[in-house]
Amino acid sequence: MEQGKCPKCEKDLEYAGGFELEGEQLGYSAFCECGWRGKEWYSLTFIDFTTDDSESKIADLSLTYLSEDVCILCQGNFTVGVDGNELGFCSTCQNKPDFPYDLDAYYIAFANDKTTFKGFDTMSRGLLEPFRK
C-alpha cells in the first residue's frame, strides 16, 4: 500500500476533509473514483514544543496555515479557523439571519458520509445546494 493511493485500484485518493483522532493515530476521510471510501491512517509522533515567538520551522508552518482568505459571499478577508470556515465563509456572513445555508446539517451529513468536502470548491461544485435554507 502507498500513501495517497487507493488500496483497491491504486489511483490517487481524494480527501473528504474530515479526520478522526484515536490515541496517537490520525485517520483522514478519503475516497476514490472507483467507489472505495474509507480512512487513510497515520501514526502521530511527538516532535517538539514551540512558543509563539519561536523561530522554528514548525512555528512557521503553523503561521502559514493561518493565512487570510476571502469570503465567497462578501469578499471580506478572514482566517480559516479563527473568523471563518474551511468552506469559504467568514463568521460575519455565517451569523447573519439570511445566511443561505444550514451548515450544521451539512456537517452532520458529512460526518455520516452522506456528502463530500472540497474546501472552497464545495460551493462551485454545488455540494451545499441540498443544504440551502
Residue 118: its pLDDT value, please? Answer: 55
What cell was used for 60?
Answer: 512557521
What cell was used for 101?
Answer: 445555508
Q: What is the DSSP string of 55-102?
A: -SHHHHHHHHHT-EEE-TTT--EEEBTTTB-TTS-BHHHHTSTT-SB-
Residue 15: its pLDDT value, please? Answer: 78
- Cα(39)–Cα(132) distance, rounded to whole angstroms? 28
What's 48's DSSP letter?
A: -
Residue 97: its pLDDT value, please? Answer: 92
- Cα(101)–Cα(85) distance, rounded to whole angstroms? 13
- Cα(129)–Cα(113) distance, rounded to whole angstroms? 16
Torsion of CA 128, 64, 31, 119, to 10 degrees: 10
pLDDT tens per residue, range 27-72: 888 888 898 888 888 877 766 666 665 454 444 444 444 557 888 8
At 112 the three-state DSSP class reads coil
Residue 69: its pLDDT value, please? Answer: 80
Indicate the pTM of the whole model: 0.49
Residue 17 has pLDDT above 70, yes or no: no
Q: Which residues contact 80 (CB under 8 A, 6 or more apart)?
A: 66, 69, 86
pLDDT tens per residue, range 76-126: 988 877 788 878 889 899 999 999 998 888 888 877 778 876 566 677 778
